[in-house]
Structure 1
Amino acid sequence: MSAKYAKYEDIDKDQLQVDIEKIKESIGKATVEDFHHLLKLERWGRISTVSGYLIIFILSFLEISSYSLSGIIFWTFALLAATLIGVGNVSRWANVAHPILHGAYDKVPNVPYRYTKAGFAKKGRRYLDWFDWIKPEAWVYEHNIMHHYHLGEDTDPDNVENNLQWLIQSKTPMWARYLFVYAFAGTWKFTYYAPNTLKILENKKRRKLKMPQVTQYEISPFKRNGAILWKEYILPYFSVKFVIIPMLFLPLGLEAVFNAFIITVMAEYIANLHSFLVIVPNHSAEDIYRFDTPHKSQGEFYLRQIMGSVNYKTGTNIVDFSHGWLNYQIEHHLFPNLPLSQYQKIQPLIKDLCAKHNLEYRQENVFKRMKMTIELMVGKTNLLKVGNV
């Protein structure tokens, strides 16, 4: 930490708690206007997805007509379609599923049940509300409980430095480490999040039964845990996204099915890159803290959320939508169940509070933070440790 900011042990954690809770009280309860804001973001995501598939339909229709496009024009529009579908994919997760599954709209008067934590993406509604590689109930426990309440600790399942010790401590050449990170970024939703969230949920059950913990999840479909991963996570999403949806274009010919499949694969890769960009750097860089022990008070909990998180640039709904509202990560970790629109109001208040307590309020361009995160992932830098700065 820079010498101009107060040290962790010197912060008045009790006063910090009082000040933060005063700010929360000043915002008030979630309103119908907050819910309408969510519906607007939901529409933007849906429009993006539908627009992408509409472009695929138009391209496929032109391919079988006398208006066949040149290769360059075709694949330019194909990339546009993939990008729109990818943006819709990320929006569904970050702008819709994320706040709802934190219960952000539960107390809005007369809110429809499907927009509450208890009703969203449950059982068959998974296919309608939030259909992804990740099973909603597994992600809720991994993210809402283990990540939020163990931020920066060894028990935080999203502690990037911890998770990549096998790479950092290996003798892998630096160029190969970078190559791995770039490849991982394009696949991480199903290579990391799907198996990891299932492992965390499984270990929750095992703790209750006093059984040994699962340290590594099986990928093989012929082993018990691997079979669950394939049956409940991988195969449902793969079947719908990469088989059923492309087959809907069959009336336009097999080439249309192939094109839809390729563009869908491109969209998935883009969605992985987009989500990796806005999610992973939130808590990962050489100026972010990790903690060896659990927090001992609510004030210390609040302090860790600030010292263990970073914001990106904030601003208009468009800017925030493109970041999946993850550009308000400090505020989100302080108040995870706030409606998204409230973060725009609370952000300057939290920034001023940090100045009052001489706390560093980290807020930078997402691409700069991504570069810093990659340096951490390949082992060039380390997270800061409380007591060592």
Structure 2
Amino acid sequence: MTTPFQLHDVDVEQFTHELMALRRAANERLGEKDFKHLKKIERWGKWCTAVGYGTAWIIPNPVSALLISTGNVNRWANIGHPIMHRGYDKIPGIPERYTSKGFAKGFRRWLDWADWIDPAAWNHEHNRLHHYNLGEASDPDQVELNLEWLRETNLPMAVRYAAIGLFALSWKPFYYAPNTLKVLGKKRTLAPGEVRQPGTLAQLKYWNPLTPEARELWLKCFLPYMALRFVAIPSLFIVSPLGPIGAVNVFINSLLAEVFTNIHSFVVIAPNHTGDDLILFEEQANNKSEFYLRQITGSANFRTGGDFNDFLHGWLNYQIEHHLWPDLPMSEYQRLQPQVKALCAKYGIPYVQESVWKRVKKTVDVMVGKTSMPRQGAVSGNLRPGVLAGEVTTNAKLPL
């Protein structure tokens, strides 16, 4: 049984007015408390890293590896992500290294952003193309379009699920690092009628060592990261009580931590905009109101509330609020989420929020071709009546 999604009677202009009032109130609240909150979350990640490495030399074990991995995810999702979105730029007196202009710049590249992904490539691919082309062909992270090759294959369904499992284990180096560099090199969005190139399997030239693209990938991303994570850091533990064995133990735990980091990142990122209850947009938005509605109807939240819960989700459980206002601090999303959800309920606008595990299942089902996302074109005028192209049919109940 299908559930029709109609917004014929929604006063979109009034909804947008009330939505912007929430943003203005958030701007007025911005201050030192938001920076203190960021520093607290940063400390949590540093504690995880310190305890993880502080015990990793003893024996290869999943606890140390998981703590190291949690520190890795924290630096990317909870620290680098909002800072590079200019989330803290407007706070008076904040140190430059916590602003988008100073974070991961110059020698701080490997202090602030010790990751497979090049910061400039991430900024272009994610902060610009993904956020402002959400769910369109120009969105480099549109999961269903990126995985058309797998969805349309004749492989048995069990093999497709296994392929996604392997993909999740190696997600950052095999997808994000090469794909962000590829998109950065292109430096533009798709022209009308241009055929989209799948993003999941980066172009072969990014893996051919004879091409400049592959050399850039290895010199900017792979070699520096591997030298730091798997050579330099383990080497420090040669002076541990176990000597070289301690260094080997750290190396093994570092490899295991990478697997955990990839799985953790995949789980909290891939389901943000994928599922048979979220919309894939076939055309660009025509105006600001439609843009805001797309950020809501093309995104899904996970369980929200409480710093520890949000820390583990990488603050990516506030995906709707984050896509409405990417340049806000993490702490503001906690305050705004109940208000945005209530506003959507008031106007009858679908607001999808489920546990991360339910969203992962829905995402993987789309990836393997078991389900599909509903399509929708753009609309014209002031979006009333017939907002969001009238009716969209899905195979899932849209929670309000």
Show CA shifts across 1:195-247 (max 9, x none): 0000111000799xxxx998725212221101100111111101110111111
From the superposition, tell whether residues 107 and 206 of structure 1 become closer, same or farther in structure 2 (CA, over 3 Å): closer
Matched, 1:315 2:305: yes
More helix per residue: 1 or 2? 1
Hey, what does 1:270 align to over in structure 2?
260
**285-294 or 213-222, which deviates more:** 213-222
- Given residue 136 of structure 1, which amino acid in structure 2 is its aligned partner? P
- Given residue 54 of structure 1, which amino acid in structure 2 is its aligned partner? G
Hey, what does 1:63 align to over in structure 2?
none
Show CA shifts across 1:20-69 (max 9, x none): 10111122252010000000000000110111000123x1xxxxxxxxxx
Hey, what does 2:355 align to over in structure 1?
365
Percent of residue pairs bearing the same amino acid type: 47
Matched, 1:90 2:67: no
TM-score norm. by structure 2 comes to 0.88
- Given residue 370 of structure 1, which amino acid in structure 2 is its aligned partner? V
Measure, in 1, the Cα distance between the counterparts of 2:357 and 2:124. Answer: 29
Measure, in 2, the Cα distance between the counterparts of 1:368 and 1:119. Answer: 38
Hey, what does 1:20 align to over in structure 2?
19
Given the alignment, which residue of 277, 281, 284 partners 1:291?
281
Measure, in 1, the Cα distance between the counterparts of 2:174 and 2:358. Answer: 25
Show CA shifts across 1:62-115 (max 9, x none): xxxxxxxxxxxx55xx21000000001001001000000000111111000000
Hey, what does 1:194 align to over in structure 2?
177
Q: Which runs of 5+ in 2 are unaligned?
A: 377-388, 394-400
Matched, 1:352 2:342: yes
SS in 2 for 1:110: coil
Measure, in 1, the Cα distance between the counterparts of 2:220 and 2:23. Answer: 39
Given the alignment, which residue of 121, 136, 161 partners 1:153?
136
Give yes or no for contact 2:129–2:189 (8 Å, CA) kept in 1: no
Hey, what does 1:169 align to over in structure 2?
152
Structure 2 matches for 1:129-144, cutoff 5 A?
A: 129-144=112-127
Given the alignment, which residue of 245, 249, 258 partners 2:237?
249
Hey, what does 2:385 align to over in structure 1?
none
Aligned length: 367
Show CA shifts across 1:117-154 (max 9, x none): 01100121111111100011110111111000000001
Measure, in 2, the Cα distance between the counterparts of 1:48 and 1:150. Answer: 35
TM superposition shift of 1:248:
1.4
Hey, what does 1:71 align to over in structure 2?
none
Structure 2 matches for 1:17-166, cutoff 5 A?
A: 17-27=16-26, 28-57=28-57, 59=58, 74-75=59-60, 78-166=61-149
Give yes or no for contact 1:288–1:384 (8 Å, CA) kept in 2: yes
Measure, in 2, the Cα distance between the counterparts of 1:12 and 1:133. Answer: 45
Measure, in 2, the Cα distance between the counterparts of 1:205 and 1:169. Answer: 28
Measure, in 1, the Cα distance between the counterparts of 2:196 and 2:362. Answer: 33
TM superposition shift of 1:315:
1.3
Hey, what does 2:379 align to over in structure 1?
none
Measure, in 2, the Cα distance between the counterparts of 1:5 and 1:191. Answer: 37
TM-score norm. by structure 1 comes to 0.90
Q: Considering only aligned residues, what root-mean-square deviation do their CA atoms show, in Å?
A: 2.0
TM superposition shift of 1:14:
2.3
**237-246 or 297-306, which deviates more:** 237-246
TM superposition shift of 1:257:
2.0
TM superposition shift of 1:13:
3.0
Give yes or no for contact 1:206–1:213 (8 Å, CA) kept in 2: no
TM superposition shift of 1:170:
1.2
Measure, in 2, the Cα distance between the counterparts of 1:276 and 1:167. Answer: 17
Matched, 1:300 2:290: yes
Given the alignment, which residue of 211, 235, 238 partners 1:223?
211
Give yes or no for contact 1:102–1:337 (8 Å, CA) kept in 2: yes
Give yes or no for contact 1:203–1:214 (8 Å, CA) kept in 2: no
Give yes or no for contact 2:138–2:189 (8 Å, CA) kept in 1: no
- Given residue 228 of structure 1, which amino acid in structure 2 is its aligned partner? E
Give yes or no for contact 1:219–1:226 (8 Å, CA) kept in 2: yes
Q: Which runs of 5+ in 1 are unaligned?
A: 60-73
Give yes or no for contact 1:134–1:233 (8 Å, CA) kept in 2: yes
Hey, what does 1:379 align to over in structure 2?
369
Given the alignment, which residue of 254, 260, 266 partners 2:250?
260
Measure, in 2, the Cα distance between the counterparts of 1:179 and 1:378. Answer: 10
